[in-house]
Amino acid sequence: MASLATRGKWSSRLGFILAAAGSAIGLGNIWRFPYTAGQYGGGAFILLYLVFVAAIGIPVLLAELSMGRNTERNAVGAFKALMPGSWWPWVGGLGVVTGFGILSFYSVIAGWTLYYAWESMIGKFGHRLDAAESGAILSDMTSDGGVMVFLTGLFLLLTALVVRRGVSAGIERTVKVLMPVFFAVLLILVVRSVTLPGASEGLSFLFSFDLSKLADPAAIGSALGQALFSLSIGMGAMITYGSYLSRDENLPGAGVTVAIFDTAIALVAGLMIFPAVFAMGGSPAAGPGLVFVTMPTVFGQMPAGGLIAFAFYALLAIAALTSTISLLEVIVAYFVDEKGWSRERATWSMTAACFALAIPSALSNGAVPFLTEMPGGGFLGLCNIVFGNWFLSIGAVFICLFVGWKWGVGKALAEMARGGGELPIGQVWGVMVRYVCPAAVLAVLIYSAITGRYL
Ligand code: TRP
């Protein structure tokens, strides 16, 4: 076991907030949130999403952070420290496996962003494209197995180069550069989008609350699943990041700040995408292709569209990188703390293992026919459902049950209060973690298992 003294630590509160916000803000915000909101009709879905973030996301986030900081351990070690000799550490083990699974398919999509950033740099998106031409660019890329495997590997390599250097010299130093760049570029793109003629239609799409759109229970499941995924909760990523947080810091304050950041960025991503899509006559309900098929047609019609396209895909790549870093860190922290491996060894061996698991996802869009026939669009789609929805939800249920019933609400609240920032509505939080959160997540899981509709 790595001794506590040699474990990493965030050097400041800002370092933690940027790293945790970097983990939370990712493809989930800029790719998945806009297209899901677009598919479920905009405003009403967004309202529901906000309710889930507040009522379920934030309580679970605080539960994870408290476990991490209290034990100063990784996802498995935290359960071991609080309940030695029990089966609970397996919940942490499930989290490590989930991290592996998410990292594998996430790196594939992250690799697409590198390709698109590159292609926009060499001028591919600076002119008018129709939807068919834009679709062909995506399918040409995804059906080229060599390119896909290369891009996935490249993204994993970038991730490993940061994680191998450790918590403050690697992760914190990187996010302190990347996150400000991210915010600046995002701001420029939003201003560009909302000042396009015709942008107001996009705004009213985002902010019109037509509650009848929520009659489909799948919308409810998607909003909840999205809240877990976007906040990086349900697999111990926030246990791990919380374990590097100093005792003197205000934990509830920092946790809520991260959640607000993440949610604000999802909304701002909507502000960046929908006004532009409507202004240029695209469809908001394009699904997963929204960012990779619809947006290039939008850029093609804008002045300086090539440059804007580059900024947009670079933004996505940055957001993805600060998220893959946190996914890899969960795995690496486990092997360093529990197995006594050096950080270097854990980083490279686990990156290689994850790359192996990512290859079928990288090839799942046409290059290997049998993989495309699986539900949800190939092996990548399957991994998204299994790891990104099911395992994450199961993990969230167990984390709530553990903190609410085993470790105890009182102890968790005491941990939160330790840095001087007592949670103002501690008893409400306790009720949420013990009853409301696990019941809600379980209900969605059961619905999805019975109906065969994915979260
Ligand atoms: N939250 C990230 C996003 O929105 C993805 C992510 C990073 C994640 N780390 C995680 C999701 C841990 C679940 C658990 O893109």
447 by DSSP, 3-state: which?
helix
Nearest atom in ligand 1 to the alpha carbon of residue 29 is 4
At 286, list the tokens: 């394009």
The tens-digit pLDDT sequence of the chain (455 residues) is 455 556 899 999 999 999 999 999 999 999 889 988 888 888 889 999 999 999 999 999 999 999 999 999 999 999 999 999 999 999 999 999 999 999 999 999 999 999 999 999 998 888 888 888 888 898 899 889 999 999 999 999 999 999 999 999 999 999 999 999 999 999 999 998 889 888 899 988 888 777 777 777 888 888 999 999 999 999 999 999 999 999 999 999 999 999 999 999 999 999 999 998 888 888 888 777 788 988 898 888 888 899 999 999 999 999 999 999 999 999 999 999 999 999 999 999 999 999 999 999 999 875 555 555 555 568 888 898 899 999 999 999 999 999 999 999 999 999 999 988 888 899 999 999 999 999 999 999 998 888 876 65
- Residue 50: which domain range? 4-451
Ligand 1 close to Cβ of residue 15 (< 6 A):
no
Q: Ligand 1: which residue has its CA nearest to atom 7?
A: 323
Q: Is the CB of 235 under 6 A from ligand 1?
A: yes
272 lines ligand 1 (CB under 6 A): no
Testing ligand 1's pocket by substitution, the residue of 231, 267, 326 carrying the most ligand atoms inside 8 A of its CB is 326
Kindly state the DSSP code that residue 149 receives in the 8-state scheme. Answer: H
The pTM for the full model equals: 0.95
Residue nearest to atom 6 of ligand 1 (CA): 232
| CA distance linking residue 455 with residue 438, whole number of Å | 15
Indicate the DSSP class of residue 365: T
Closest ligand 1 atom to the C-alpha of 323?
A: 7
C-alpha closest to that of 273 among 196, 217, 374: 196
CB contact burial 299-326 (16+ within 10 A = b; e otherwise): bbbbeebbebbbbbbbbbbbbbbbbbbb
Helix, strand, coil shares of the chain, percent, nearest 5, are 80, 0, 20
Give the pLDDT score at 376.
Answer: 56
Shortest-distance Cα residue to atom 10 of ligand 1? 232
Q: How far away, in angstroms, is 329 Cα from ligand 1 center?
A: 12
pLDDT of residue 454: 61
Determine the distance separating the centroid of ligand 1 and the alpha carbon of 5, expressed in angstroms: 28
Q: Is the CB of 102 under 6 A from ligand 1?
A: yes
Cα 232 to ligand 1 centroid, rounded to whole Å: 4
Q: How many domains does the chain have?
A: 1
Task: State the number of CA atoms in the 13 A half-sphere of 263 facing the CB.
Answer: 20
Question: Are 239 and 67 spatial neighbours (Cβ–Cβ below 8 Å)?
Answer: yes
Q: How far is the CA of 239 from the centre of ligand 1 (A)?
A: 13
235 CA closest ligand 1 atom index? 14
Q: How far is the CA of 26 from the centre of ligand 1 (A)?
A: 7
Q: Which atom from ligand 1 is nearest to the alpha carbon of 23?
A: 7
Separation of CA 196 and ligand 1 centre (Å): 31
pLDDT for 424: 87
Q: What is the atom index within ligand 1 of the atom nearest the CA of 31?
A: 15
Measured in angstroms, how far is the CA atom of residue 23 from the centroid of ligand 1? 6
Please tell me if the CB atom of residue 230 comes closer than 6 angstroms to any atom of ligand 1: yes
Cα dihedral 325, 51, 390, 61 sign: positive
> Is residue 232 in contact with ligand 1, taking CB distance under 6 Å?
yes
* Ligand 1 centre distance from Cα of residue 106 (Å): 9
For residue 427, give the nearest of 413, 447, 442 by alpha carbon.
413
| Ligand 1 atom with least separation from CA of 98 | 14
Probe target for ligand 1 pocket from 327, 387, 393, with the most ligand atoms within 8 Å of CB: 327
CB crowding 405-429: b at 16 or more within 10 Å, else e: eebebeebbebbbbbebebeebeeb
Q: What is the model's pLDDT at position 198? A: 87
What is the structure's pLDDT at 66?
98
Does the C-beta of 61 come closer than 6 Å to ligand 1? no
Atom index in ligand 1 nearest the CA of residue 231 equals: 1
Output the domain CATH number for residue 418: 1.10.4160.10
pLDDT of residue 374: 53
State the amino acid at position 440 in one-letter form. Answer: A
